[in-house]
Amino acid sequence: MDLDALRSILTDSFPELSGSEFITHTAGWDCVAVDVDGRLIFKFPRHELAEKALIVEARLLTAIRPAVSMPVPDLTLFSGPPRFSRHVKLKGEHLLTQHYQQLPSEARQRLASDMALFYAELHSIDARHMEALGAGPLRPWLHPDDILRRVWPILPLASRRYADKAIDDWQQLPSDPYGVTYGFFDGHGWNMAFDHKEKRLNGIYDFADSGFGPLHQEFIYTNWIEPDLTARIVAEYEALTGRDLDRQRIDLLTGVLRLSELAEAIDDAVHFAEKMKAVMDWSSR
């Protein structure tokens, strides 16, 4: 997965790229991405499960692209070996908290409207068709007892109280009133192609983690950017769909996922500090 090896694979398959600039992006959990000349993205799975997920993602996108107004990737698969995908790059960069906080109100609202429409259109796709294409249930979070057992010794007192209440409330939470839907469930700023100059979202990518889950869970991931964005998206989605969403449920699920991610990162030297900060920030709101 080093740059020279990936460059060799790609130039063997596409000799016309021999004079191109290659940049690797290695932060992804499942794939290494190679950006070629800022116009093409090649994804190389890190392991067998990631390879299977890439194949399913390509199939799912054949149904998603014509159903949503939001630009999404058009993946072409190559069998290799190794197997990889290619798509035209969606122009834009990640949208992080500091970027969102600098946006004027009208740009924030336009972003919220675009995201709400994307979710409304995505949730309208026939679930049986998506299941036939390979969509499955979301990966479950850790068991409540496991979360508390792992995070309790490392949390300060105030955050322990928050964790106890959040996990207890989660265990008592009734089923989602809108049931299970096919959704993206990964709508944070690292999966956005945002044009910072034009202050506009140009597209969304990485559907490998999409699947069937509780409707309200769809809306928690923009809290990674800013709760103000989530609030705007929820209001726009309600206006589009006529559904009344439970904001307290969305907040609770956000906190539980933060705790679950921290519990999973206990022995992860690379990501532990980031996950701890996320719990501390959310629990102190």
Listed range (41-45, 118-122, 231-235) with the worst mean pLDDT: 41-45
Q: What pLDDT sits at residue 3?
A: 85
- Model confidence at 265: pLDDT above 90: yes
Q: What pLDDT sits at residue 80?
A: 76
Q: How many CB atoms lie within 10 A of CB 47?
A: 10
Q: What pLDDT sits at residue 210?
A: 97
17-26, 80-89, 215-224, 268-277 — which one is most confidently predicted on average? Answer: 215-224
Give the bridge partners for 36, in sequence order. 22, 40
Residue that has been written with the tokens 């995908």 in this structure: 85
Task: Please report, rounded to a whole number, the percentage of residues in the chain having pLDDT higher than 70.
Answer: 99
The CATH code belonging to domain 97-283 is 3.90.1200.10
Q: What pLDDT sits at residue 206?
A: 92
> Mean per-residue pLDDT for 29-34?
86
Phi, psi dihedrals of residue 208, rounded to the nearest 5°:
-65, -30
> Mean per-residue pLDDT for 203-219?
96
- Model confidence at 204: pLDDT above 70: yes
Q: Give the residue extent of every domain in the chain.
A: 3-88, 97-283
Whole-number Å distance between alpha carbons of 255 and 84:
35
Please report the DSSP string for 133-183 in residue order.
Answer: TT--BPPPPPPHHHHHHHHGGGS-HHHHHHHHHHHHHHHHPPPPTT-EEEE
Higher pLDDT, 25 or 10: 10
- The per-residue pLDDT of the chain, averaged, comes to 95
In terms of CATH architecture, what is 3-88?
2-Layer Sandwich (3.30)
> Mean per-residue pLDDT for 221-243?
98
- In whole angstroms, how large is the CA radius of gyration of the chain? 20
Give the bridge partners for 182, in sequence order. 212
Q: What pLDDT sits at residue 235?
A: 98
Q: What pLDDT sits at residue 270?
A: 85
> Mean per-residue pLDDT for 72-93?
93
Q: How confident is the model at residue 51 (pLDDT cuts 50, 70, 90)?
A: very high
Residue that has been written with the tokens 């130039």 in this structure: 11
Query: 275: alpha, beta or left, given left = phi > 0 and alpha = psi -120 to 50?
Result: alpha
Q: How confident is the model at residue 27 (pLDDT cuts 50, 70, 90)?
A: low
Whole-number Å distance between alpha carbons of 148 and 263:
8
- Model confidence at 29: pLDDT above 80: no
Q: What pLDDT sits at residue 81?
A: 85
- Model confidence at 1: pLDDT above 90: no
String of b and e for 195-209 (b: at least 16 CB within 10 Å)?
eeeebebbbbbbbbe
pTM: 0.93
- What are 123-167's pLDDT values in tens digits? 999 999 999 999 999 999 999 999 999 999 999 988 999 999 999
- Model confidence at 184: pLDDT above 80: yes
